[in-house]
């Protein structure tokens, strides 16, 4: 089934998004708004689904089959029922185990699901074996995350689709950031989407899995709406009027500023050597080179090597203060990724980077996660990706400051030249670096590592047991950081 970019003619004229784009547009400027909590990011996506009249394009690295994933899927079905063309583009690396949800969506005649860079084997041991035998190709992943309604309003940022990204998980929630845009930047997101949608390495879901029989699919689609909403902490806007009121309020707080969208196009040959920084990385380098006083980095996975630090050292702005917030071993959801950071942690400190690692008990969780009960019952993990330059320019999107984003993954970022938004994010990063929220990492007189948190000081990574520390240490000996 082929859905081109042409928009179908709606049976009911509806200019809500067009009117909003015109009302909030300013010549030469983008209209943008930060989505700082998972709850508002979830509500914004739900509202755009209810408001869309012609087409929805959604591109994600992960779409979980959980409460929020099923709920948003059910609303895509409802949108398709009223005539909206839905195109869902997913990276293959996290499709396994969720095939039935995507097959149900793809069974709808107005919903088309495609998978980027799929492995040849689809399940079991063969799937994992294909990761080894086809290593170079399989490592080129679509990490981009965009959501666009009618080519007029969209969301880009770091969040995948799932409970932990939307403040809905009872224990572990991710601190993340998205940007809601209105107008021309949404068209740029569509260009991003089309590049991957039409890639030779993107295949229809139906080419990989059998579709459910029509007679068995319809009852499941009909019950999907209630199945996804049973455990939601918040009630999202589930009808057009409520969605419009929500969006009007959101659009009224848009900021007008110069902004650009940069994305990495899909590789023509994923198996070719990935030895050159991609477009998003090059954009980051240019911004780093132009910084004059301060660079603040917020990255879930912070993995640099000697070559990257030499690049940073060659920028000719040695008086710039560089501070970075990343996950501690206690908050990192992937020990492997932490090991790549740990391998180069001392080198980063020797180069003068001010390092801070998030604490699992950070009281900042109550500011970031709308469902505060989850902060009391569990912990928070950093998943956001943003860099602020001189409190003037914001680099934000799916890009982690790590080797995988630099060389391997497809990424999407927004570069927003707004002192207002850059200042907001800078203040939030500095708040997260306070001793109650993160441990500052330093070198002692003998070159060993120390973790400082207020009056407390640790000579090893805090709040984790011996075996987790040992696993991270052993993995850090392996030169695999490019693939983490």
Catalytic-role residue among 108, 169, 356, 385: 385
**Pick the catalytic residue: 134, 220, 390, 482?**
390
Pairwise CA distance, residues 281 & 286, whole Å: 9
Q: Is 452 among the residues known to form the active site? A: no
Give the relative orientation of helices 38-51 and 240-251 as an angle to the nearest 10 degrees: 120
Say if residues 156 and 414 touch (Cβ distance below 8 Å). yes
Catalytic residue among 143, 169, 338, 356: 143
Q: Is 112 a catalytic residue?
A: no
CA distances from 290 to 314, 423, 481 (A): 12, 17, 27
Residue 143 is a catalytic residue: yes
Catalytic annotation present for 145: yes
Determine which one of 169, 338, 356, 383 is catalytic.
Answer: 383
Query: What is the layout of strands, in order, in the sheet containing 393-397?
Result: 259-263, 412-416, 393-397, 385-389, 294-299, 321-327, 354-358, 438-443, 449-453, 456-458
Query: Is 167 a catalytic site residue?
Result: no
Tokens describing residue 242: 């409520």
260 is catalytic: no
Q: Which of 108, 145, 169, 338 is catalytic?
A: 145
Specify which residues 202 forms β-bridges with.
116
Q: Are strands 449-453 and 379-382 parallel, antiparallel or unpaired?
A: unpaired
Among 150, 163, 184, 264, the one annotated catalytic = 150
Q: Which tokens in the block code for residue 408?
A: 């391997």
Show which residues are catalytic: 143, 145, 150, 383, 385, 390
């Amino acid at each position: 089934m082929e859905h081109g970019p042409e928009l179908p003619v709606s049976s009911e004229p509806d200019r809500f998004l067009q009117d909003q784009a015109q009302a909030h547009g300013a010549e030469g400027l983008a209209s943008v708004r930060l989505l700082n909590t998972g709850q508002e990011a979830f509500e914004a996506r739900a509202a755009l689904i209810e408001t869309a009249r012609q087409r929805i394009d959604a591109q994600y690295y992960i779409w979980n089959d959980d409460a929020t994933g099923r709920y948003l899927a059910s609303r895509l079905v409802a949108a398709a029922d009223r005539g909206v063309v839905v195109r869902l583009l997913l990276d293959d690396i996290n499709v396994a185990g969720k095939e039935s949800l995507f097959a149900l969506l793809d069974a709808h005649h107005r919903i088309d699901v495609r998978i980027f860079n799929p492995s040849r084997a689809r399940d079991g041991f063969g799937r994992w074996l294909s990761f080894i035998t086809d290593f170079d190709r399989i490592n080129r992943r679509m990490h981009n995350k965009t959501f666009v309604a009618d080519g007029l309003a969209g969301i880009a940022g770091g969040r995948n689709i799932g409970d932990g990204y939307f403040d809905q998980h009872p224990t572990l929630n991710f601190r993340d950031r998205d940007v809601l845009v209105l107008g021309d930047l949404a068209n740029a997101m569509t260009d991003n989407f089309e590049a991957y949608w039409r890639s030779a390495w993107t295949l229809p879901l139906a080419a990989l899995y059998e579709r459910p029989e029509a007679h068995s699919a319809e009852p499941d689609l009909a019950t999907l709406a209630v199945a996804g909403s049973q455990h939601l902490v918040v009630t999202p806007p589930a009808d057009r009027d409520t969605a419009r009121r929500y969006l009007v309020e959101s659009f009224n707080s848009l900021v007008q500023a110069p902004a650009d969208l940069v994305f990495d196009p899909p590789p023509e040959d994923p198996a070719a050597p990935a030895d050159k920084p991609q477009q998003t990385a090059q954009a980051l380098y240019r911004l780093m080179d132009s910084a004059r006083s301060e660079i603040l980095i917020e990255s879930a996975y912070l993995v640099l090597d000697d070559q990257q630090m030499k690049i940073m050292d060659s920028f000719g702005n040695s008086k710039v203060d560089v501070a970075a917030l990343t996950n501690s071993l206690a908050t990192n959801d992937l020990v492997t990724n932490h090991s790549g950071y740990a391998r180069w942690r001392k080198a980063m400190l020797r180069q003068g980077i001010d390092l801070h690692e998030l604490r699992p008990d950070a009281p900042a969780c109550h500011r970031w996660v709308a469902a505060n009960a989850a902060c009391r019952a569990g912990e928070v993990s950093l998943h956001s990706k943003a860099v602020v330059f001189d409190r003037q320019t914001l680099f934000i999107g799916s890009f982690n400051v790590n080797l995988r984003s630099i060389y391997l993954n497809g990424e999407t970022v927004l570069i927003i030249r707004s002192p207002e938004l850059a200042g907001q994010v800078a203040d939030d990063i500095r708040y997260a670096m306070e001793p109650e929220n993160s441990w500052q990492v330093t070198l002692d007189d003998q070159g060993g590592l120390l973790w400082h948190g207020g009056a407390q000081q640790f000579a090893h990574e805090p709040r984790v047991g011996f075996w987790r520390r040992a696993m991270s240490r052993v993995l850090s000996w392996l030169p695999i950081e490019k693939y983490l």
